[in-house]
Structure formats: C-alpha cells, structure tokens
Amino acid sequence: MLLDDSELTVRQLQRNGGQRNQDLSGAGREPYEVMKGAFEQVAGTPPFVPFSESVLPALLALRKTHQTIAESRAYLISQGTSLDQTKRRLEIEQANLADQKLLQQSLEKRIQSLKDDAESRMELTPEQAAKERLDELRQKKKRYDRETSRLLKALRKFIDDHLAAQLAAEDLGGPVVGDMMEIDSDQLIAGFNAQGRPAKVKSKPDEDKRQRRLEEVWGLPQEDAGQKRGEADEAAAAGREMRELTEHLLNQLVEAGGDSAAAYVKLPKETAAARFLIRSKVAQFHPRDATKLKLIDFGRELDD
C-alpha cells in the first residue's frame, strides 16, 4: 500500500515537471523572437543614401581633408626641430670627415717621404748622409732668411703706409690707433685738444712750436726734425720709433735663446708704439715692472 502511494506521487511530479519545462522554454524564446524580427526588418529596409544632388558627401570629404592637413602640419612642426638638428649634425660630420681626409693624405705623404728618405739613406755612407743632412739644413736656413727678410719688409711698409700716422696721432694726444683711420699731414701739424678731438687747422702753423713738440714727444733734434715738412715729420718720427722698438724686441728675443726672463726690453718711457703692441697681443709687459716689454714667443708656446 505504501509502495502504491509512492508511485502515484512520482507520476504526479513528473507530469508537473514536464508542464513547467514547457512553460519555461516558451517564455525564454520570446526575446529571441523579438530580436529576430527586428533584425529581419532592418535587413529588409534599404539603407539611407544621400540623393544625387546632396552636398553631404562633399562636406564629409572636406572635413576629412581638413583633418588630414591639420595633422600633417602638426607633424611637420614637431619634426622641424629634429630636422634642423640633424642637418647641423650632418654638416659637422661632413666637415670632420673632410678634415680627417686631409689629415690622412698629409700623414700618407709624410710616411711615404720618410720611407723614401730611409731607403735613400740606407744606400749612403754615414759621411754622405751627414753631408746630405747638412745641405738640407742650409737650404732651410736660406729659405727662413728669405721669408724673414720678406716679412720685415712687409712690416716696415705697413708701419710707414698705415700705422705711423695713427701712432703719431695717439702720441700727440689724439685717438688711439684704429679709432681714426684717415689722418692727414695738416691734422698732425695742428694737433689735438684735451678731449682728443682734432684741433683747428691753421693756415700758417708755428714751426718753432712744432719742432719743440717733435723733440719733446720723440726726442728728435731740431735739425733732424726740420728736414721734411708735413706728415713726414710727425708720422716718420712715430714710424721710426715703432721700427726701432720692434727690431730691438726681435733681437732681444733671439739673444735670450728661449730664456723668458732675458727677453725683456727696458722702455725709457711709455709710447703709443708699445701700447699698440700690447693691445695687439704681440707683446706683454713684465708682471712686476711696467717699464719692461717683451715679444710673445709664439713658437715656444706651441712647442710647450
């Protein structure tokens, strides 16, 4: 009896469960059916396309073109600095490459020259090699002497043609060398005022006063100073002082033989010539005695 009741209960549950599953399956299909219907409706509807005379495609193309141009300009601006730096770097590297090529060529020529000399000397006796070396040194000395003479002539010409009048003007209280490039003889005769400006040129200058000034400034005897008139007097006196000073400095530098302390020259007074050499960085005063001057030994500085 108990078994029959249990079987009856199981059958009832099975019937109720099957009906519930049917109800659930039907309710779950409804959203999908709605979505399916919507998709089918959209798929069956023709898409929106502007009519043939519409300006919408042109506007869209214009907007896209404008956007592309703006982005391209922004990119070019951002890359401009990098491009300039790259160009400068390229120029520097090209210059370095050219220098290295020149250096390489010079070294190759020097190496070949040394090889040729070594090969030629291997065939010579010691006496012949010494004689050949002595001849080379003599030729170099002659070449150096010619170059020295040429440079000294050029220096004297520069002093006489360009520098002498300006040195004379500075010694007479006028502008320093280089501030007034054109100075004529009349201006040197007239002199300069206390402010360094050119004085008024007189039609008949006082020759006695002029000769005394020449003697005071450059220490010239009146009979020597009066040999020439005009620019030749003042300018020639300043030029002669400059030539004598440079020659004295050169001779003293050679006699010093590399001794820096012995290369100084004692100045009797400070002159425009000495100041010009100092400003040109050709000479220098003694660090503890402003009355001593020497030329800067450029060759020794390079050797050091």
Taking only the tens place, the pLDDT of each residue in 44-84 is 777 777 777 888 888 888 999 999 999 988 888 888 888 88
Residue 4's pLDDT is 54
pLDDT band at 209; cut points 50, 70, 90? low
Given a contact cutoff of 8 angstroms between Cβ atoms, the answer to whether 217 and 206 are in contact is: no
Residue whose entry in the numeric block shows the structure tokens 């206390």: 194
Residue 302's pLDDT is 39
Of 189, 209, 207, 213, the C-alpha closest to 199 is 189
The one-letter amino acid code at 74 reads A
Query: Taking residues 105-119, what's their average pLDDT?
Result: 87
pLDDT band at 303; cut points 50, 70, 90? very low
Residue 24's pLDDT is 47
Residues 6+ apart with CB under 8 A from 274: 245, 267, 283, 293
In angstroms, what CA-CA distances link 184 with 173, 192, 299?
A: 15, 13, 38
Taking only the tens place, the pLDDT of each residue in 138-166 is 999 999 989 988 998 998 898 888 888 88
Taking only the tens place, the pLDDT of each residue in 180-201 is 777 767 677 667 776 667 666 6
DSSP per-residue codes, 182-247: ---HHHHHH-B-TTSPBPPPPSS--HHHHHHHHHHHH---HHHHTTS-THHHHHHHHHHHHHHHHH
Taking only the tens place, the pLDDT of each residue in 250-285 is 888 888 877 888 889 898 888 888 888 889 888 999
Tell which wins on pLDDT, 9 or 149. Answer: 149
